[in-house]
Structure 1
Amino acid sequence: MAWSDSEIIQLTCTKKWFETPDSVSFELSSDSEHDSFDFKAGQFSSLGFDIEGKKAFRAYSISSVPGEQRLKFTVKRVPNGLVSNHIVDSLSVGNKVDAQAPVGQFNSVDCVPKQKVLMLSAGCGVTPIMSMVDQWLVQEANIDIEFFHLAKSKQDAIYFDKLVELNRSVDHFNLNMLLEDNAGTTFPQGLISLDWINKLVADFRERTVYLCGPTGFMEAVKSALEEAQFDMSQFYQESFTPTQVNTDVGEGVVKVAVPDFGVELEADEGSLLIDALEKGGVPVIAACRSGICGSCKCKVKVGQVESTSFETLSDEDRANGYVLACSSTIKSDVEVTLN
């Protein structure tokens, strides 16, 4: 199945199970038994759930492989997370879920691998990494895979049994499961150092590196590779951590108008555009809130905003005034359209 970037289709939850005490996997399928899903391994989809009478979207990496008749996702509970808690506690088989077309530049097609790769993940960051590995194995690509995964404990390690089985049964797959609670194992603040990478994968400079996980973990890995003078053209990373947006609120008050929806309201100068649009009840989708999924794309027809992310926006989009509302702060009175 292929659908356009702006199209939302409705899928059905056909299976759900726990991976760890605070994370679940679930599968979504279309009503047609013959539909399969076309995407690039490693990409994500923005999913919409009905929660307390409102539709809430969030972006989640797809953990299945392209060409199958279902999309698989794995979601970890986030403290006070509206959608993650709904998925873990309330999503049931038979529930309908809205889905946007898969997107994302972190994937095994656009990020071309060498014949040797190093996959580094922590927590729920394992999901797109696992999709890439599974795709290479399905394709019998014969890529030499060194796989690092960091978790607090065996109980908290997503896909633990699967990773151990791959390590046992696939000659060109080597697993380093780094558990913080292991006796004698020390990871300062749960991070991986250059010494650890050198110790466990001495030939890492000959590999393409793929990285996904929490911000601190990713920053530590990237710094370690730069310290080692790694060829960063062979380094790819993904993160749904919100972009650093300067939201120092000024003394002024600005007006935000969205004529298509009859909305006009006041907002603090320097506040996020997405917050103003949501306050006004404008049906904008803010799935990742990280400036990477592009679902909150809108056009500033009048006025000025300051943006920190242009992910998924073409040069033509930017020239025509399109911005990502989740990573844009309001600098003056603005008029916005979603078209």
Structure 2
Amino acid sequence: MSYTIALNFEDGVTRFIGCKEGETVLDAAYRQKVNLPMDCSDGVCGTCKGHCEQGEFDMGDEYIEEALSDEEAADGMVLTCQMVPSSDCVIQVPVASTLCKTEVGKVEGTVAAVEQLSEDSIELVVDLDDGAEIAFLPGQYVHIDVPGTEAHRSYSFSSLPGEKRATFLIRNIPNGVMSSYLGDRAAAGDRLTLTGPLGSFYIREVTRPVLMLAGGTGLAPFLSMLSQLVEKGCEAPIHLIYGVNKDDHLVKVDALDAFAARLPNFTYATVVVDEASEHPRKGYVTHHMDAEVMHDGDVDVYLCGPPPMVDAVLKHFDAQGIVPQSFHYEKFTPNEAGSKS
């Protein structure tokens, strides 16, 4: 029996390791050349302390109170030198990956398809090389090198982890480096380098209602998240509000319909900003966040969109006195190296 442990470092790098049954996370990491912080390895110093966001494990009783207090343990803090997983786990490591002598991964693949979904959106499909499956947490992103340039751009996966074919929903930016490549030069078989996974925006274990807020191509990570929820099953209510500027910017609605058919408690609403639109819901996502989807604050909120949308939601929560149980968001900014557009 082996478990997959996602180590999320404070610089945004995620490294996946395998942990054998009965093996501590620290030993598993060192075996795979990831030097997690450690001074004693005996549960005494607390140097290897991290936070387990999800998963089951045994901490034993060999560590001392000074290294890990009962209050910290109750909040999900762990000592990786004592932590023995009994399931897949996600652990926040409070140091940079470079200090642990581990590097972000790189995989190679080829362009399988490029499809213009709308004036605003392009879908890129990449076939990963044999043996190059990339592990990631649904919601995370990679840097993709732009062929023929020294630039890269960053995009969230819209596909599931572990699949041989990776998909990305990309905003079409006039004269943008990636947009120009995809629109003018891209051809099936082109070689691409993907670096990652990266980012702290990913779905956590679902234990209460979830509200997802997507702006434009910010829909991409939610497609990956929903795919995983379909695969694993989910009984909690999940509601997605998907906002775009114009009617024809709405894409992947058929995929959302398919998720609704397979996830009994999943619902979604689309919103269009354009005042000339005849869409039944107009305005911004904040105009359609009613009390029903907020569950009196007993809700986990995930938000991915351009900075104005993220700022508007933050101001809306503040003005309404809304404090979700947890709030995870990611901004994407066009025309910057390493941006999410």
Tell me the TM-score normalised to structure 2 length: 0.63
- Of 194, 198, 201 in structure 2, the residue corresponding to residue 103 of structure 1 is 198
1:173 aligned to 2:266? yes
CA distance in 2: counterparts of 1:222 and 1:172, whole angstroms: 26
Q: Which amino acid aligns with 1:75?
A: I
Aligned to 2:210: 117
**Structure 2 contact 155–170 (Cα < 8 Å) conserved:** yes
- Of 304, 308, 322 in structure 2, the residue corresponding to residue 230 of structure 1 is 322
**Structure 2 contact 242–269 (Cα < 8 Å) conserved:** yes
Aligned to 2:339: 288
1:10 aligned to 2:10? no
Aligned to 2:146: 49
**Structure 1 contact 43–107 (Cα < 8 Å) conserved:** yes
Deviation at 1:174, TM superposition (A): 0.6
Q: Which runs of 5+ in 1 are unaligned?
A: 243-273, 275-285, 291-339
Deviation at 1:148, TM superposition (A): 0.4
Aligned to 1:59: 154
Residues 198, 120 of structure 1: alpha-carbon distance in 2 compared, 3 angstrom cutoff: same
Tell me the TM-score normalised to structure 1 length: 0.63
CA distance in 1: counterparts of 2:295 and 2:340, whole angstroms: 36
- Of 36, 48, 58 in structure 1, the residue corresponding to residue 133 of structure 2 is 36
CA distance in 1: counterparts of 2:229 and 2:296, whole angstroms: 19
- Secondary structure of residue in 2 paired with 1:93: coil
- Of 118, 123, 127 in structure 2, the residue corresponding to residue 20 of structure 1 is 118
Residues 93, 136 of structure 1: alpha-carbon distance in 2 compared, 3 angstrom cutoff: same
Deviation at 1:2, TM superposition (A): 6.6
CA distance in 2: counterparts of 1:6 and 1:167, whole angstroms: 35
1:93 aligned to 2:144? no
**Structure 2 contact 206–234 (Cα < 8 Å) conserved:** no
Residues 114, 84 of structure 1: alpha-carbon distance in 2 compared, 3 angstrom cutoff: farther
CA distance in 1: counterparts of 2:263 and 2:293, whole angstroms: 18
**Structure 2 contact 156–340 (Cα < 8 Å) conserved:** no
Aligned to 2:289: 197
CA distance in 1: counterparts of 2:192 and 2:174, whole angstroms: 22
1:150 aligned to 2:255? no
Aligned to 2:179: 84
CA deviation string 1:162-220 (max 9, x = no partner): 11333345321111111232357542xxx333x53126625262210000111111111
**Structure 1 contact 65–131 (Cα < 8 Å) conserved:** yes
Q: Which amino acid aligns with 1:182?
A: E
Residues 165, 153 of structure 1: alpha-carbon distance in 2 compared, 3 angstrom cutoff: farther
**Structure 1 contact 213–238 (Cα < 8 Å) conserved:** yes
RMSD between superposed Cα atoms in Å = 2.9
CA distance in 1: counterparts of 2:171 and 2:212, whole angstroms: 20
CA distance in 2: counterparts of 1:192 and 1:108, whole angstroms: 20
CA distance in 2: counterparts of 1:46 and 1:287, whole angstroms: 7
- Of 182, 187, 197 in structure 1, the residue corresponding to residue 278 of structure 2 is 182
- Secondary structure of residue in 2 paired with 1:63: coil
Aligned to 2:298: 206
Residues 289, 171 of structure 1: alpha-carbon distance in 2 compared, 3 angstrom cutoff: closer
CA distance in 2: counterparts of 1:106 and 1:122, whole angstroms: 15
Q: Which amino acid aligns with 1:287?
A: G
Residues 183, 115 of structure 1: alpha-carbon distance in 2 compared, 3 angstrom cutoff: closer
Aligned to 1:312: none
- Secondary structure of residue in 1 paired with 2:308: helix
Residues 134, 146 of structure 1: alpha-carbon distance in 2 compared, 3 angstrom cutoff: same
Aligned to 1:70: 165
Deviation at 1:88, TM superposition (A): 3.3
Q: Which amino acid aligns with 1:85?
A: S
Percent identity between matched residues is: 24
CA distance in 2: counterparts of 1:95 and 1:28, whole angstroms: 9
CA distance in 2: counterparts of 1:176 and 1:156, whole angstroms: 14
**Structure 1 contact 136–143 (Cα < 8 Å) conserved:** no
Residues 70, 124 of structure 1: alpha-carbon distance in 2 compared, 3 angstrom cutoff: same
My pick for the range that moved more, 118-127 or 229-238, is 229-238
**Structure 1 contact 63–131 (Cα < 8 Å) conserved:** yes
CA distance in 2: counterparts of 1:42 and 1:186, whole angstroms: 27
Q: Which runs of 5+ in 2 are unaligned?
A: 1-14, 18-101
CA distance in 2: counterparts of 1:289 and 1:214, whole angstroms: 9
CA distance in 1: counterparts of 2:272 and 2:296, whole angstroms: 21
Deviation at 1:232, TM superposition (A): 4.7
Count the aligned residue pairs.
Answer: 240
- Secondary structure of residue in 2 paired with 1:201: helix
